Structure formats: structure tokens, C-alpha cells
Amino acid sequence: MDDQTRMLTGLTGLAGLAQADVGDQDSVRKQQSLGQPQQDIGDILQQIMAITDESLDEAQARCWPEESPAHWGGSDDPTEGGRAGGGMAGGGLPLNFQHRKHALNCHRMKPALFSVLCEIKEKTVLSIRGVQEEDPPDPQIMRLDNMLLAEGVSGPEKGGGSAAAAAAAAAAGGSPTDSSIEHSDYRAKLAQIRQIYHSELEKYEQACSEFTNHVMNLLREQSRTRPISPKEIERMVAIIHRKFSSIQMQLKQSTCEAVMILRSRFLDARRKRRNFNKQATEVLNEYFYSHLSNPYPSEEAKEELAKKCAITVSQVSNWFGNKRIRYKKNIGKFQEEANLYAVKTAVDAANVSAQASQANSPATPNSGGYPAPCYTPDGRL
DNA sequence: GTGTATGATTGCGG
DNA sequence: CCGCAATCATACAC
């Protein structure tokens, strides 16, 4: 339509107007004869201003509909001769438009304009980047990394992790000899998790770099037709990396979960009960029955007992807790045991005293003469 | 396989 | 945190 023509004419400079002047003398004359040239120029200027607010789509859309001659001539006479030129312009407009577009693309100022656009973009991008430049290392991902490292999943091959597990096993008070089977099982499972983790990580990294390359190539290609600064590409890459690292975090998280589950299972396995050895129960029972009136060993006593029995203090505590409650529940059942240990302690005491008075009575074989285990119902010692 | 013994765990109160 | 009581889960004896 001719609105567009006029605007483009205005945009392309005075040449257009001059051409109109020359090529359409008739119409110009008519306009002049109408005595409103000022108003027409004002119209044109207004339209030029207006076009800056238009979107490309709008402008293009305006290119095709039926022309409305009213604006141009300033005359409302449809039969006006001036329309001859106007009609020509209207029919030829699309072509004209294409032509001007091409002219713009090949314009000698285009590179300069392009570089100015690039500069402006770069400044904008920089100001945007300035705000979110240094994103601090995510504490969550750091925590996950630390844990995976500590568990020996992400660290150097073998070593640290299993050593830590062994240390944990030892510290937890499990019998050091019986944990080897479960331990190797644990190590095997951990290695499996480790392998899955690494292969997944590799996959992610590969996908990330592939995608990054793809996007970079795309942008580079596009940068020939539209202004894309290297900074912009850099930013895009950063965005991609951020996306992929969030996926990576999910992987790390689920790996951590798997390790935790394995660990808890491992700990559960270690909780498999093993009876204390005979000597240990003897030591504990001795203490218990000889302190029957107050079977609450002090912290020191517990430590002593723990050392003697090669168990932990908490195991001693457990034992005494169990023993007290079970004894109390059924004293009768423990009577025999009580007598047994009463005799035992008596014998020990006798032995000690005998050793002390060895000079006086050298031979005291059977610790004889001491309160016999007479109250043992079955007559056993 | 079943019943009992026993070490460990859990929930609660002080 | 400690001890008690109940309970779990396994070891062990039969």
C-alpha cells in the first residue's frame, strides 16, 4: 500500500521525495494547487515517527491490504488524476518493498550498523551478566560431593572409602574378626554403585559437551545473519552447563541415597547378634552376682569390664541392663546361677587369701572348708 | 522346626 | 544421658 511506500520513501531519504517530485509532476502540481504542502509533509513526518513503534509483523501486514488513497493525496476525489502515480505505486508496492529490503541489506552502511548493534547487545548482555556473574558454589552440591568423596564413590579408585568403612566397622564395636565377609560384600556393592555413578556421569558430560557444541555451531552460523556477540554465546554455554549440572546433582543425590541405604544395611548386618564368649559372660556374671545388692557398675568399672571381656562399654551397659531386668523378672530361674557365682567368688576369694597366707598353710587344694555349694538343688558344684 | 537364651534397639520417664 | 521395660532378631540347644 502506499502508506508503506511513503514511509519507506521517507526512511530512505530525500531521494524518494525528489523522485516523487520528478516522476509525478502532475500530482505534485495538484497538491500545490490545493495549497496544503505543509500539511502533507507533516503527515509524512508523523508516519515516519509512527513506524518506529511498529513491529515488523505489523509493518509487513500493512504491506498487503487494499490501499487507501485518502492519506496520500489529501484529496477525497477518487477520480483524481494524481492517482495515476499513486496507483502505480500501490500495485508495485510489494515488489518495491522487496527491492528496498534488498537495497538495505546491500547498503554500504550495513556493516557499520551491524557492528553498532553488536556493541549495544554486548553492553546489554554484560550488564545482565554483571548481576548474576559469580553464582556461588551450591552448598548442596558441595555437600553431596564431600559425601561421595568420603564414601569413596567419587574419589580415587578404591582405598579411602573402604578404609573408612573398615574404620567405621571397628569403631562401631563389632567383633573385628567376623565383619570381614560382610565387609567384602559392602565393598562389592559400593564398587557397583561407584561404577554406575561414573558411567552415568560420563554420559551426562558427553551429552553436555555435544549439546554445547551443537548450540555453539548454531549460534555461530546465525551470527552471520544476525548480531550475536561471543559473550552471548558464552552466556548460552553457561546456561546449558547450569542445566546439565542440575541434572548431575540429581545423579549425585540418588547415588548418595544408594550409599546411605547400603550403609544402613551394612550396619544392620553387623548388628547380627554374636553371643559373648564364655570367659566374658563369666566375668560379667561374677561382677553382677558379687554386686547383687547394687548391680550398677560405675563408668570406671564398666571400662574395666569392657577391657577384660574385649567388648565395648555400651555392650557392658546393655548386658547389665538386660541382666538386671531379667534377673528381677525371674529371680528363681537365676537362683542356681547366683549360687554358682557366689561359690565361684568365694573360691576366688579363698584362693587369694590362700595365696596371701601361703607361708602358713602351703597346701589348700580344693579350697576346702568353704561354704559348699550346698544349696544347689541338683547337688552340682 | 521350635523354644529358649541373649545381645541390641527403642520409647519413655526422670 | 541413664536406666527401665518391652521388643526385636538372631544364636543355640533340642
DSSP state of A69: T
Domains identified in chain A, total number: 2
A188 vs A32: which has the higher pLDDT: A188
State whether A192 and A302 are in the same domain.
no
Q: Chain centroid to CA A88: how far?
A: 65
Protein chain A, residues 116-145, with a C-beta closer than 7 Å to any atom of nucleic acid strand C: none
Asked if the structure places residue A90 within a domain, the reply is: no
Among all strands, which nt has the closest C1' to A311 (CA)?
A: B7
Q: Are A160 and A194 in contact (CB under 8 A)?
A: no
A215 vs A224: which has the higher pLDDT: A215
CA distances from A246 to A204, A251, A323, A336, A359 (A): 11, 9, 54, 67, 84
The whole-number Å distance from A347's CA to B4's C1' is 30
State whether A258 and A286 are in the same domain.
no
pLDDT at A342: 81
Q: Which of A272, A291, A325 is the last residue of a domain?
A: A272
Band the pLDDT of A131: cuts 50, 70, 90: very low
Asked if the structure places residue A19 within a domain, the reply is: no
The whole-number Å distance from A264's CA to B10's C1' is 17
Among all strands, which nt has the closest C1' to A319 (CA)?
A: B7
- Report the nearest residue to nucleotide B7, CA vs C1': A273
A58 vs A86: which has the higher pLDDT: A58
DSSP state of A66: P
Asked if the structure places residue A251 within a domain, the reply is: yes
- Picking from A314, A313, A316, the residue whose alpha carbon sits closest to that of residue A281 is A316
Q: Is the pLDDT of residue A64 over 50?
A: no
The whole-number Å distance from A336's CA to B9's C1' is 29
State whether A144 and A239 are in the same domain.
yes
Q: Are A93 and A5 in contact (CB under 8 A)?
A: yes
State whether A145 and A234 are in the same domain.
yes
| CATH number of the domain residue A318 falls in | 1.10.10.60
Asked if the structure places residue A256 within a domain, the reply is: yes
For A314, residues 6+ apart whose C-beta sits below 8 A from its C-beta are: A173
CA dist A307 and A311 (Å) reads 7
Percentage of chain A surpassing pLDDT 90? 12
State whether A215 and A263 are in the same domain.
yes
Q: pLDDT by residue (tens digit) across A324-364? A: 999 998 888 888 888 888 887 777 777 776 666 654 543 33
CA dist A11 and A88 (Å) reads 20
Q: How far apart are the first and last CA of chain A?
A: 124
State whether A212 and A267 are in the same domain.
yes
CA dist A150 and A162 (Å) reads 10
Band the pLDDT of A91: cuts 50, 70, 90: very low
pTM, to two decimals: 0.40
pLDDT at A28: 41
CA distances from A127 to A118, A216, A234 (A): 14, 22, 14
State whether A252 and A142 are in the same domain.
yes
pLDDT at A295: 93
CA dist A20 and A11 (Å) reads 14
CA dist A313 and A333 (Å) reads 27
- Picking from A82, A66, A74, the residue whose alpha carbon sits closest to that of residue A4 is A66
State whether A290 and A331 are in the same domain.
yes
Residue for grid cell 548442596: A140
State whether A141 and A265 are in the same domain.
yes
Average pLDDT over residues A90-97: 48
CA dist A297 and A309 (Å) reads 15
Per 3-state DSSP, what percentage of chain A is helix, strand, and coil (rounded to 5)? 75, 0, 25
pLDDT at A255: 84
Asked if the structure places residue A325 within a domain, the reply is: yes
CA dist A162 and A19 (Å) reads 88
Cell of A339: 549360687
Q: pLDDT by residue (tens digit) across A237-266? A: 888 888 888 888 888 888 877 777 666 666
Band the pLDDT of A313: cuts 50, 70, 90: very high
CA distances from A226 to A26, A104, A106, A197, A259 (A): 43, 14, 14, 42, 50
Domain of A188, in residue numbers = 137-154+181-272
pLDDT at A284: 93
Q: Is the pLDDT of residue A48 over 60?
A: no
State whether A246 and A314 are in the same domain.
no
- Report the nearest residue to nucleotide C2, CA vs C1': A317
A275 CB below 7 A from strand C atoms: yes
State whether A287 and A186 are in the same domain.
no
Percentage of chain A surpassing pLDDT 70? 46
CA dist A27 and A37 (Å) reads 12
Q: Is the pLDDT of residue A299 over 80?
A: yes
What value does the mean pLDDT of chain A take? 66
Asked if the structure places residue A132 within a domain, the reply is: no
